[in-house]
Amino acid sequence: MVIDDDTDVLTAVKLLLKTEAKEVVTEVNPEMIQSLLSSSKFDIVLLDMNFKSSINTGNEGIFWLKKIKSLDENISVIMITAYGDIDLAVRSLKEGATDFIVKPWHNEKLLNAITGILKGKGKVISDIPVSNAFNIGKEIIGKSEVMSDIFFKIEKIAPTDANIFILGENGTGKDLIAKAIHDNSLRADKPFVKVDVGALTETLFESELFGHKKGSFTGAGEDRAGRFETANGGTLFLDEIGNISMQQQAKLLSVLQNRQVARVGSNVPINIDIRLVCATNLPIAELADENRFRKDLIYRINTVEILVPPLRKRGADIMLLANHFAQLYAAKYLKPVPGFDAKAIDKLNHYHFPGNVRELQYTMERAIIMLDGETLTADDLIFSPIENAVHETAETKDMNLGVVEKNTILRVIEKHGGNISKAAKELGITRTALYRRLSKYDI
């Protein structure tokens, strides 16, 4: 089904797909969507982003996308967008779109997108070597479905200037994702500047980010450009942004809104042109608490959200990474590349990795250093006692039944990206029952 209020577009798509599809249904009025979906079964919907319709929200495509997904959550939707709406189209990926095509499109690209979906691939490129699928960077390794989804998003969002918010536990590689976005953007030849804002004190925050003038405070012996100025033209990566204070958030929001900074000790505004990428290890549910984090700042930094999965949810990637680190440290310490016996593989695949990829890396380095033979056994793999102590403390800290239920609901909702239907199904309750619990726990 193709929905666009431009009849020339409908004609062009119908002619293009004439020999490719069994049937192509076209419609100029999106208000006919419900009727069409109820009368026929479609494999794919091509949906325009803008219509001259009664829905006058400025982003009709998102409205109708949500409508389509509410009627059939499994249907694949490709958004059709003009270049000027690209940020909105990227946002549609968060709302469940499978892909988007920019007008005027290349016929081959549109056909490849449709063919990929019809073959059941959709966003999954796990059968393609990462290095060949997309120039994602040598340091990011993974062929699991969850990582393929991230590679797909990076491929789509990197060429845009959309602000990116990366969520994930410590040790999952959020900084590598940020660097990959920069390296595959139109700003790749410009600076990539990383700042751990969570480690900045109140007194250093403004000076570090916005710069200062000579003599503006004790120790300011010369003029200094801040990180925003240093990153001008390129990408600014603010790591652990969930840990900054409300006062720091207000200052950051002002700069992002005005696209200007003023050095400490100066009232002269300096224009900045940066692509912003932020990251945090906090769950989105905690950031939604306005006593902790400003919602207007979340909206400002979160045009597109990338949730980096913990290692325990990446399946075959565990052994893929283990082999990679084994080769890396064997070369570093001048040892033969070892194999893994069956018990070692089983131990790796069944461990919960509270420290994620970082913990696996250190585990493999330690094992290679201590290895005498050419095969790694289960006894050679010693996991971090620090990580396990932290994990056990967090798990047993509060066993109050209500707290356990609330935390379980939060984890399942986060797992399904806020999809209430899927969360309720996994929890084994109805949507209505889940909504009652959301209200009960003020989630």
Q: Write out pLDDT tens, residues 401-429.
A: 777 788 788 888 877 777 888 888 888 88
Euclidean distance between CA atoms 406 and 433, whole angstroms: 13
Would the pTM count as exceeding 0.85? no
For residue 295, being part of any structural domain is answered with yes
Q: Looking at the structure, do residues 235 and 316 belong to the same domain, yes or no? A: no
Give the chain's domain count: 4
Q: Looking at the structure, do residues 345 and 378 belong to the same domain, yes or no? A: yes
Q: Looking at the structure, do residues 218 and 301 belong to the same domain, yes or no? A: yes
Q: Looking at the structure, do residues 206 and 272 belong to the same domain, yes or no? A: yes
The CATH number of residue 364's host domain is 1.10.8.60
Residue 96: what pLDDT? 82
**Quick one: what percent of the chain has pLDDT higher than 90?**
43
**CB contact at 8 A, 369 and 332:** no
**Cα dist. 110→8, 28, 103, 178, 370 in Å?**
16, 20, 10, 28, 53
The answer, yes or no, to whether residue 132 has pLDDT greater than 60, is: no
SS3 235: strand
Q: Which of 17, 102, 122 is nearest to 61 (CA)?
A: 102
The CATH number of residue 259's host domain is 3.40.50.300
> Quick one: 380 exposed, middle or buried, by C-beta within 10 A (0-12, 13-18, 19+)?
buried
For residue 134, being part of any structural domain is answered with no
Q: How confident is the model at residue 152 (pLDDT cuts 50, 70, 90)?
A: confident
Euclidean distance between CA atoms 200 and 160, whole angstroms: 29
Q: Looking at the structure, do residues 318 and 216 belong to the same domain, yes or no? A: no
Which tokens belong to 160? 């845009």
**CB contact at 8 A, 53 and 31:** yes
Residue 226: what pLDDT? 92
- How far is C-alpha 369 from the chain's CA centre? 35
Euclidean distance between CA atoms 101 and 109, whole angstroms: 8
Q: Looking at the structure, do residues 170 and 299 belong to the same domain, yes or no? A: yes
Single-letter residue type at 245: S
Q: How confident is the model at residue 313 (pLDDT cuts 50, 70, 90)?
A: very high
Q: Looking at the structure, do residues 290 and 177 belong to the same domain, yes or no? A: yes
The answer, yes or no, to whether residue 284 has pLDDT greater than 70, is: yes
Q: Looking at the structure, do residues 49 and 168 belong to the same domain, yes or no? A: no
The CATH number of residue 418's host domain is 1.10.10.60
Q: Looking at the structure, do residues 273 and 342 belong to the same domain, yes or no? A: no
Q: Looking at the structure, do residues 201 and 299 belong to the same domain, yes or no? A: yes
The CATH number of residue 79's host domain is 3.40.50.2300
**CB contact at 8 A, 226 and 208:** yes
For residue 140, being part of any structural domain is answered with no
Euclidean distance between CA atoms 320 and 142, whole angstroms: 7
Residue 51: what pLDDT? 79
For residue 225, being part of any structural domain is answered with yes
Euclidean distance between CA atoms 280 and 238, whole angstroms: 9
Cα atoms found within 13 Å of the Cα of residue 150, Cβ hemisphere only: 30
Residue numbers of the domain that contains 363: 311-388
For residue 125, being part of any structural domain is answered with no
**CB contact at 8 A, 120 and 157:** no
Q: How confident is the model at residue 189 (pLDDT cuts 50, 70, 90)?
A: very high
Of the candidate ranges 125-134, 144-153, 332-341, the one whose mean pLDDT is the lowest: 125-134
For residue 220, being part of any structural domain is answered with yes
- How far is C-alpha 346 from the chain's CA centre? 30
Which tokens belong to 158? 């990197």
Q: Looking at the structure, do residues 295 and 413 belong to the same domain, yes or no? A: no
Rg (CA), the chain: 25
Q: Looking at the structure, do residues 203 and 81 belong to the same domain, yes or no? A: no
> Quick one: 197 exposed, middle or buried, by C-beta within 10 A (0-12, 13-18, 19+)?
buried
Which tokens belong to 276? 């912003």
**What is the average pLDDT score of the chain?**
84
Q: Which of 235, 247, 173, 165 is nearest to 205 (CA)?
A: 247
For residue 168, being part of any structural domain is answered with yes
Euclidean distance between CA atoms 416 and 213, whole angstroms: 48
Q: Which of 353, 413, 420 is nearest to 381 (CA)?
A: 353
For residue 414, being part of any structural domain is answered with yes
**CB contact at 8 A, 69 and 34:** no
Q: Which of 349, 348, 338, 256 is nearest to 297 (CA)?
A: 256
Of the candidate ranges 82-91, 138-147, 206-215, 288-297, the one whose mean pLDDT is the lowest: 82-91
